[in-house]
Every structure is written in structure tokens, then in C-alpha cells.
Structure 1
Amino acid sequence: MPPARKRTRTYDPVKTRAAVLAQFGHVRDGVRDLDEERLARSSGLGDWTVRELAAHVTTALENVSRNLDRPEPAGREVTLLDWPCATAGRAGDIAAGTRRLAADHPDLDALYARTGERYAERLATAPDGRLLATLPRTPGSDRAAGAPTGAMTLADYLVTRTVELVVHTDDLNRAAGTDIPFDRQALATCTRLLADALAVKAPGASTEVRIPPYAVVQCVEGPRHTRGTPPNVVETDPLTWIRLATGRVDWRTALDEARVGASGERADLAPLLPLMG
């Protein structure tokens, strides 16, 4: 197990770039194998079909390409840990853009191919420190251009892409009955970012949250633990943690199904979840 987080975590930009491409490739392969019956199923995310969810996944990369096509944004630079909370309140905008994207691109494999090519071409010469808008306009949506919450470096923004890709890979697997694999680096990065976001939302050191083999964080105000077994411990697996953090499963259900263990009077994370709306 890695040590509990005490400092701001850093991510290797080279590994992050590779992880994003690897996970996108896994999703493209899985979507290519979907027949019309499975594409027409409910995604479990509002009224989206699996087809619409599959189309939406491409925006994880297309938003990078679109931002690299634009001048660097001016304004406040936000940190990586600002991003999870900054995504709240965009559901309507994202849903509208996704429906249009799916309708305009019935050939999903062609959409994935075009998206991947554009992304690779633009990323090839983009430096890690290049600034991007943190909440770019969703393709096909009515959201006003130029209304992001701030700017983030490309290196950090690509870390957020692992969250988008891993979360929606899991969504696709559960909705369509696929078995799309998770790139290990992408899964680890997604898990760690969401764990660190919890520590930011509930600062403190009374509770230790363990998500082996990728992350351990301390959070929640209260007496600080210094040695021995912590009095308040939460432990779960990466996918369950990601589902909790993004609202795919609620805390009580995860406890009842023994997908999360929690001991101690400060081990109830229900009031803090989900982290992303």
C-alpha cells in the first residue's frame, strides 16, 4: 500500500498521454463490436442510449483538440483538484450536445477514427504547459463559447481525461454487457485524482480511505491518527470508489453489498458523496 497522501500529487505527463490513448483505443474496440440491439439499450445515465453514451466518450478527446485549435485562454488558472467540483451543473448542456453528436454521426467507428486522428495530430506538437479552458463547449451544444471557469495546463487537463474515459468505460460495460478493459495507468490516475478530491473536500486526518492498490488518503476533521491501526478506516476497490465518487452507486448500497468496508464513528462518507455531479 502506498503512504497516505500529505502533499499535492504529481502525474507523469508521458504516462498520462499514453494512458489516455490506450483507454480510448480500448473503448473504440469495444464500441465497434456493439450491435444495434445493444446500442439501443438504456445507458443508465438519464435518457441516454448506449449509442449516445458511446458518442459522448469521444468528447473526452475532442475537447482537447478543440481547445488546442483556439488561442490560449486568459483568466484564472485552476488547479487539477478544482476540476471535479467545477463539472457540476453542466448535465443539461452535456446531454443536449451528446444527442446532437450521436444523431450527426451514425457511424460510431468513423467518429472514433476521426476523433483519434485529430487528437493525435494536435497533441503531437502541444507542450505540457499549454493552457486550455477547463470547461470547453460541448460539440453541438448551445453553451456559449468562452465561458469556462478558468484555464488548466494541458498536462493536468489530460489527467482529467482519464476520469472521463474510465468512468464511461465502466458505464458502457454495465449498460451494454461489454468487457472493455481498463488501462492500468488510466485506472490508477482516475482513482487517485478522485481520492485526492475527497481529501480536499473534507480536509483533516481522522479518517483513512484506502483504495488498494492505487491510493490512500486521510480526510475528515477530528483527532489526528499518528501510529498503529487508524480508528476510522474506509476501504474499497478502485471501481467501487469511482462509482461512489461519481454517483453511480450510493454509499448505503455499497455498504449493504459489502463492496466497501467502514469502521469508526467518522467513517461514514455518505454526506461527502458524490464528488462529481
Structure 2
Amino acid sequence: MSRNTILSGLSIGLLAALCYGANVPYAKLAAQAGASGPTLVFYRAFILVALLGVLGLGQSRSLAVPSGSRLAVLGLGVATSFVGLCYISSVAFIPVGVATILYYTYPLMILVVAPLVDGERLTPARLGIFALAFLGLCIALGPNFTALDWRGLALALAGALAAAAQFFCAARATRGSTPVIAGFWTQLILIPIALAGCLVAGRLDPPTVLVAAGMPAGMHILLFVLAFGFHLLAARLTPPAALGLVFCAEPVASILLATQVLGESLAVAQVSGGALVLIAVMASVLAESRKQAAPA
């Protein structure tokens, strides 16, 4: 991959992370208006299948996945499903801050596995950047480590493992096929898994609940659609090890937007922790830029 390609991928990945983070406060508002998390996931998958199906047929008149990419697309669909299922479920047993910190160990998992899967080097610079970002998250979220339930810990870590797998599968699925077709099948695979999650939660609301929830539900779905599209496009352009570090900006976007949408106030710890994460993200982009600019 060329330097410009990777930098473009990192920029698009940052947009994806910001959109993913921004949709969280709107998901909370939508839940308060009656549209539960599992319900949003279930119906937004239908919307994405319809949008991506039309785009895919318009581009190539076929939604078929090349035989060499089918396993990667299947893995992407399953991993994407379990990212939300495990991560969202974990907060029923442990504090949100703890769940988020455990979940965002996935960039480290990607860094550790990348040398085996992609031949990417586990450099001290990348480990240092992850350590800085992780420290920032710990400071910003300020988790309470008392009364931890092993089920919540296991679910959050399972979500992290699924996220790491998602990045590797996304890179292979989008390069062997196209982001549109890979995304279409990912969301189609997600629908029955999301339905199972709704049934386990004992709640499957009718589609009219999205209309009743109004603007928050609409903004959540719009931001997720943008985030998912940017994510798959970035995965095609950037190695997982580099892209995963940029996604540490996601929770910072959630915290910042929550101050505007939910009226929450920022504590000194959140400002300083968020600043450390953003510094780490910028350092990651600069490090990748220098790496690609260096002579072979």
C-alpha cells in the first residue's frame, strides 16, 4: 500500500470512529423515547441491507461474493454481530466505564496478532501509542472497580475479541469483494443474531417505535450508517494494526457530544484523559506517515 492510500484510510477511519462515538448519545435518547438498543440494532440492519443492496446492484448488478472472500465476509458478519451483542450486554453486569476500558483493549489485541496474521511489525512506537491512548481512556472514564461481576467482564472481553476479529475480517472481505457488497452481507447475517438478542431481552418493538422516538432514533441510524460505511472503506485502505489505534477516538467523541446532546458536564479528568487519547491518535497518524515515507 502507498503512503497516500494508508493516510487516506486513517483519515476515513477517524471519521468512522467519530461517527460511531457520536451515535451513542443519540442511542441513549432514543432508548429514553422507547426505542431500546436491541430494537435499534435490529431495524437499522434492515435499513442498511436495503441501502447497500440498491448500491451494490447499481454498481455491479450482482450481490454475489467472490468465492475467495466468502469466509472473510461470513467472519465479518458474525464478528460485527457479537461486537454489539457482547459489549452492550456487559453493561448490565458491570459499570459502563469498566466495560468500555475492557472493550478498548481490542487495539492491543490487533497489534499482538497482526505479526502472525498480516506480517505487521509489533513496534515499540505502536505499543507506546496504544499505552498512551489506553491511559487516557482510563483517566477519562474513571471506572469503579468495585463489585465486578464475572459475566460482565467476560462479555466485555468477548466484545473486544470480536472487535479485533472484525478488523481483520473487514480488511480481507473488502479487498476481495467491495465495501458495499461486504457490508450488505454483514448486515444480512446480523439480522437473525440481532433478532435473537431482542428475543433474549424479551422485547421486540414494532417499527413504529422508531417513528415515535423521532429525531434521536433517526440521528442514531444516520450516524451508524455513515460510520459503518467509512469503517469498511477504511479497512480496505489501511492495515488493521494502524486502523485500530485511530478508533480509540470513538469514546472521546461520545463524551464530547454527550455534553451537547445530553447536557452532561465535563470533569477535569475527562478533559485531560480525552486530550491524551487525541494526542495518541495524532501520533499514530504521524508514525504511519513516517513509516510509509521511509525508504524500503
Normalising by the smaller structure, the TM-score range is: 0.3 to 0.5
